[in-house]
Amino acid sequence: MRFGQLLLPSNLCLSPLAGYTNLPFRLVVRELGGVGLATTDLVNARSLLEQRGAALKLIETRPADQPLAVQLFGSVPEEMRDAAVCLESAGVASVDINMGCPVRKVCRVGGGSAMMTELDKTSRLVAGMVNAVRIPVTAKMRLGWDDENLTAPELARALEGAGIAAVFVHGRTREQGFSGTVSLAGIRAVAQAVQSIPVIGNGDVTTPESARRMIDETGCAGVSIGRGAFYNPWIFHHTVSYLATGTLPPEPTFDERLRVVRRHLDLMVEVFGEPHGCRMFRKVAPWYAKRFGPSNEFTRHVVRISTVADFEAVLENYLRWRRQFLDEQDELKPKFRPAPLVASFMQPPGVASRQHIPVPKGPVETW
Ligand SMILES: Cc1cc2nc3c(=O)[nH]c(=O)nc-3n(C[C@H](O)[C@H](O)[C@H](O)COP(=O)(O)O)c2cc1C
């Protein structure tokens, strides 16, 4: 998959997840393989231009964290343009514009989903950015504001005219938030509306099979995965393999899962320091635990860690407690194994709403 001149190593992208897609998480998924492009959390264009510490921390990167897109939000054309120029000179591979955020604070000032309601104004803002940089500029949107205003196809076509290099589309409206089923028909309408730029489908992809289904049924060039990567940071590697060969690599062993959890914590400590890194890890570790089998004992205590030593103590205690669920080969007894994940759009009607993927808490509560 190509965004303009930028050739990506795969057609699978890590979606921006404010509060989670920081440098440590991006490095973890990249080390496991298969990621074509990772995007930062959304960054306020003005804060970046003012060189605010929080904005600079969000764009912190390393050579192993490439290719990297930074997602900007804002609605002042000059600020968005200048922020894109600043990111280009910092060596970022591409700039993404947030047009999907439903949060009131972002929409009120004309950013996020509000951009989907004003096609001409948004196209002019995009053209200003595209003309100021050589790196690709992309947009991430939802299907529209609500069911009566499914503007994504029209907007994608207009943005292609303004020079956008690719469009990411989450197959839900702003009004839907995270409820209901992802609409493959809605994503297909966007893929059909553009002439030559890649459209990347997004929403509820939690397995390689669901990535395949999204690509086949929508004609999108690739998929972007957010929450599915929390459950399963191996999803990119597994999906690349599944798309190429039709076979699924074996599930990671429990030991491999523990290795990756520890690696993630080590990186959090390296990047954020031990006290802050451990505090941030409190909300990350329970996601890994969802694939551990019974894990209450882990989750209850891991949300209180302040040091790496605390984490190791929690783990040691948990491993002792977990033994009751194991057979003679030290494997989880069948009735304790976690159920396979199924994407909303792969489930029979009616089931999807009961088995939706949880939305993690974070600075953006209602994404
Ligand atoms: C906690 C959280 C934070 C998010 N932050 C962003 C963000 O900063 N920018 C953005 O465009 N989308 C954001 N999203 C939306 C995701 O990128 C993605 O479109 C959505 O979660 C659907 O994909 P998924 O089902 O694979 O998670 C966020 C979603 C969640 C759950």
Structure confidence at residue 79 (pLDDT): 97
Q: Mind listing the pLDDT tens digit for each residue in 44-93?
A: 999 999 999 999 999 999 999 999 999 999 999 999 999 999 999 999 99
Structure confidence at residue 355 (pLDDT): 52
Shortest-distance Cα residue to atom 6 of ligand 1: 17
* Residue 43 bridge partners (DSSP): 72
Which atom number of ligand 1 is nearest to the Cα of residue 359? 31
Q: Mind listing the pLDDT tens digit for each residue in 128-185?
A: 999 999 999 999 999 988 898 899 999 999 999 999 999 999 999 988 888 888 999 9
Structure confidence at residue 149 (pLDDT): 86
DSSP structure class, residue 292: S
The answer on pLDDT for 354 being more than 80 is: no
Mean confidence (pLDDT) of the chain: 92
Q: Is 113 in the pocket of ligand 1 (CB under 6 A)?
A: no
The answer on pLDDT for 94 being more than 50 is: yes
Structure confidence at residue 363 (pLDDT): 42
The answer on pLDDT for 202 being more than 60 is: yes
**Rounded distance from Cα 105 to ligand 1 centre (Å):** 16
Structure confidence at residue 335 (pLDDT): 94
Q: Is 140 in the pocket of ligand 1 (CB under 6 A)?
A: yes
Q: Is 286 in the pocket of ligand 1 (CB under 6 A)?
A: no
Structure confidence at residue 359 (pLDDT): 63
| Distance of alpha carbon 160 from alpha carbon 153, whole angstroms | 11
**Rounded distance from Cα 226 to ligand 1 centre (Å):** 6
* Tokens 């929409």, located at residue: 107
Q: Is 341 in the pocket of ligand 1 (CB under 6 A)?
A: no
The answer on pLDDT for 116 being more than 90 is: no
Q: Mind listing the pLDDT tens digit for each residue in 298-346?
A: 999 999 999 999 999 999 999 999 999 999 999 999 999 998 888 888 8
Confidence band, pLDDT 50/70/90 cuts, at residue 115: confident
Structure confidence at residue 143 (pLDDT): 94
The answer on pLDDT for 361 being more than 70 is: no
Q: Is 111 in the pocket of ligand 1 (CB under 6 A)?
A: no
Q: Mind listing the pLDDT tens digit for each residue in 250-289?
A: 999 999 999 999 999 999 999 999 999 999 999 999 999 9
Structure confidence at residue 366 (pLDDT): 42
Confidence band, pLDDT 50/70/90 cuts, at residue 365: very low
| Distance of alpha carbon 287 from alpha carbon 290, whole angstroms | 5
Query: How far, CA to CA in Å, does 364 sit from each of 41, 168, 367?
Result: 10, 19, 6
Structure confidence at residue 298 (pLDDT): 97
The answer on pLDDT for 105 being more than 60 is: yes
Q: Which of 12, 13, 14, 17 to mutate to test the pocket of ligand 1 (most atoms within 8 A of CB)?
A: 17
Q: What is the DSSP string of 221-256?
A: SEEEESHHHHH-TTHHHHHHHHHHHS-PPPPPPHHH
* 51, two tokens: 């060189």
**Rounded distance from Cα 33 to ligand 1 centre (Å):** 21
Q: Is 367 in the pocket of ligand 1 (CB under 6 A)?
A: yes
- Prediction pTM value: 0.93
Q: Is 142 in the pocket of ligand 1 (CB under 6 A)?
A: no
Shortest-distance Cα residue to atom 12 of ligand 1: 16
* 267, two tokens: 């990186």
**Rounded distance from Cα 15 to ligand 1 centre (Å):** 6
Q: Which residues belong to the active site?
A: 101
